[in-house]
């Protein structure tokens, strides 16, 4: 159905919007790290320099993946999946603990968070499984198998504990089975079951750590100088930015260290404070541009596998952004989800660039073998 198209196989708009978000993030990391380094650490060899290197690595990975036939990745995805499960178990047993949770593997002094790249692996495995079984996708067995594929890593990251990432795994699965055309009754039934079991889960499964975070979400002032401090200060930072913000590197909350983890979890608060509502709208526009270009990849994919991969990637980036920003502006309780492309951190940045590479791979190949 799709005609041969001679021009613009590679989606530069998609790539450029990703790079623009990364550059935007670098500005914010620069401003945020001025505060925590107290101005003495050379900034460019510090966090900003590291992030630039990660971005370059990500870009290389992106281009490499985009040149690879994504169907080749599908072949290896099962092996990657078992590797991921092993890595997540490894993290839980001997991982590095930061802020009360184990999410990282320490390799040569660098903390690697396998759950980030794991989200892409799950996307590939689900896409492969659902496209291989596209004829029987309305069968309960296929539905449940796909659910199991997502739930296993979700439970492992939930135990870290990382409720945010676990939620992302489930949302990726949900988006992909809907795209694959699963029986809507199965989906609603699963959602109904989860909602019905939620109260029990809160008692039995949710740890004190998570319960405390949820309590703090509703009343951060209860511990305004302790655990509630970050929540309150992030809210003040964003709110005080107003329409145009206080100017990059001129936010008092950011620069005087009232805002903590201002280069990672709360980087959006730096943006809100220093660049204001207008700055946030620019960020939103870049994200929307990137995500809609991602959906375009899904729309023009030549096969079901590529389409599912594209949808998985869009859901992944959309909800990482939604949850991260939502935490900053008091929509969600605290979870340690990075803001894609923007937050300081190699695992996340390289992962989202690989994700971009996957989208490009789908786009580049859509014309080669007409359906």
List residues binding another protein (CB under 8 A). 1-3, 5, 175, 178-179, 181, 225, 233, 235-243, 252-253, 256-258, 272-273, 276-277, 280-281, 284, 287-289, 291-293, 295-296, 298-300, 307, 311, 314-315, 318-319, 321-322, 325-326, 329-331
- From the CB of 105, what's the least distance to another protein, in Å? 31
245 φ/ψ sector (left φ>0, alpha ψ -120 to 50, else beta) = left
Among residues 117 and 356, whose Cβ is nearest to another protein? 356
Nearer to another protein, 56 or 331 (CB): 331
Of 108 and 221, the one with the shorter C-beta distance to another protein is 221
Query: For another protein, which is the closer residue by CB, 37 or 110?
Result: 37
CB of 311 to another protein, least distance (A): 6
Do residues 304 and 131 touch, judged by C-beta distance below 8 A? yes
Nearer Cβ to another protein, position 120 or 318?
318
In the complex, minimum distance from the CB of residue 360 to another protein, in angstroms, rounded to a whole number: 16
Least Å distance, CB 369 to another protein, is 16
Q: Which of 221, 218, 355 is nearest to 293 (CA)?
A: 355
Closest to another protein by CB, 1 or 108:
1
Q: Residue 73 Cβ, how far from another protein at the closest point, in Å?
A: 21
**Taking the complex as a whole, how short is the minimal distance between the CB of residue 257 and another protein, in angstroms?**
4
């Amino acid at each position: 159905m799709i005609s041969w198209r001679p021009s613009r196989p590679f989606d530069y708009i998609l790539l450029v919007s990703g790079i623009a978000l990364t550059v935007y993030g670098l500005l914010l990391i620069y401003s945020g790290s001025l505060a925590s380094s107290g101005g003495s650490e050379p900034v460019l060899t510090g966090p900003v320099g590291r992030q630039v290197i990660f971005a370059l690595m990500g870009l290389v990975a992106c281009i490499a993946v985009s040149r690879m036939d994504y169907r080749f990745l599908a072949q290896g995805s099962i092996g990657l999946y078992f590797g991921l499960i092993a890595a997540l178990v490894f993290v839980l047993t001997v991982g590095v603990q930061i802020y009360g949770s184990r999410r990282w593997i320490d390799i040569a002094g660098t903390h690697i968070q396998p759950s980030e790249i794991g989200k892409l692996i799950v996307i590939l495995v689900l896409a492969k499984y659902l496209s291989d079984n596209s004829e029987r996708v309305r069968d309960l067995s296929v539905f449940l198998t796909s659910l199991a594929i997502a739930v296993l890593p979700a439970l492992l990251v939930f135990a870290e504990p990382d409720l945010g990432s676990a939620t992302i795994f489930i949302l990726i699965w949900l988006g992909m089975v809907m795209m694959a055309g699963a029986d809507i009754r199965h989906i609603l039934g699963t959602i109904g079951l989860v909602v019905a079991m939620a109260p029990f889960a809160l008692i039995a499964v949710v740890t004190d750590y998570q319960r405390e975070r949820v309590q703090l979400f509703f009343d951060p002032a209860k511990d305004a100088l302790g655990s509630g401090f970050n929540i309150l200060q992030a809210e003040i930072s964003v709110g005080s930015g107003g329409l145009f913000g206080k100017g990059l590197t001129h936010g008092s909350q950011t620069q005087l260290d009232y805002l903590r983890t201002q280069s990672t979890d709360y980087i959006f608060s730096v943006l809100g404070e220093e660049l204001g509502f207008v700055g946030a709208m620019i960020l939103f526009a870049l994200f929307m541009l990137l995500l809609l270009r991602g959906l375009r990849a899904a729309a023009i994919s030549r096969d079901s596998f590529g389409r599912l991969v594209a949808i998985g990637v869009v859901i992944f980036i959309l909800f990482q952004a939604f949850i991260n920003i939502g935490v900053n502006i008091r929509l969600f309780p605290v979870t340690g989800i990075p803001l894609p492309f923007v937050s300081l951190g190699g695992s996340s940045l390289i992962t989202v660039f690989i994700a971009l590479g996957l989208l490009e791979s789908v786009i580049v190949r859509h014309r080669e073998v007409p359906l």
